[in-house]
Amino acid sequence: MNSIPDSHRDLLESKFATLATVGADGYPQVSEVWFLATGDTVAMSLTTGRQKTKNLMHRSVCSLLILDLVNPFRYLELRGDVKMSPDDDHAFADRMEAKYGTNPSEYDQPGDKRLVVTLHLTRVNAVDVPTS
């Protein structure tokens, strides 16, 4: 299944997701990220200096977990390949300001470059465990 079901589309409005990448040593690395979703496309604005970005440059696969904070028995896991493209004019980072109320570029370190990291879905796991 490579599309996000309607039952879990509301989670795409969440503020945070957990990005899992694979480090050069073969071990997983996870971190919280901001993201934007349009249809079945999920993209993140990352900088070149961060470990998660270095991991994705080495191995361009990841998993993104979006947890329903009201009901943690419900979540969306998105797996796939990533494509990275420069965001030299910060156009994508600027778009994130509407969702987050701040621009991620404000947190850049000197020398960092912004990238748009787009997740191309290979697997979607929409989970909703009954709790009665």
The pLDDT of 1-27, averaged and rounded, is: 94
Give the DSSP H/E element, type plus range, for residue 98.
helix 91-100
- The per-residue pLDDT for 76 is 98
Domain that includes residue 35, residue range: 6-127
Pairing mode, if any, of strands 36-38 and 74-86? Answer: unpaired
**Two structure tokens written together for 127:** 């989970």
The structural domain count of the chain equals 1
Q: State residue 32 phi and psi, 5-degree precision.
A: -80, 140
- The per-residue pLDDT for 1 is 55
* pLDDT grade for 2, boundaries at 50, 70 and 90: confident
Q: What is the pLDDT of residues 32-41, one digit of tens each?
A: 999 999 999 9
**What CATH number does residue 14 fall under?**
2.30.110.10
Cα four-point dihedral sign 98, 29, 24, 112: positive
Q: Is the pLDDT of residue 124 over 90?
A: yes
Per the prediction, the chain carries an average pLDDT of 95
1 located within any domain: no
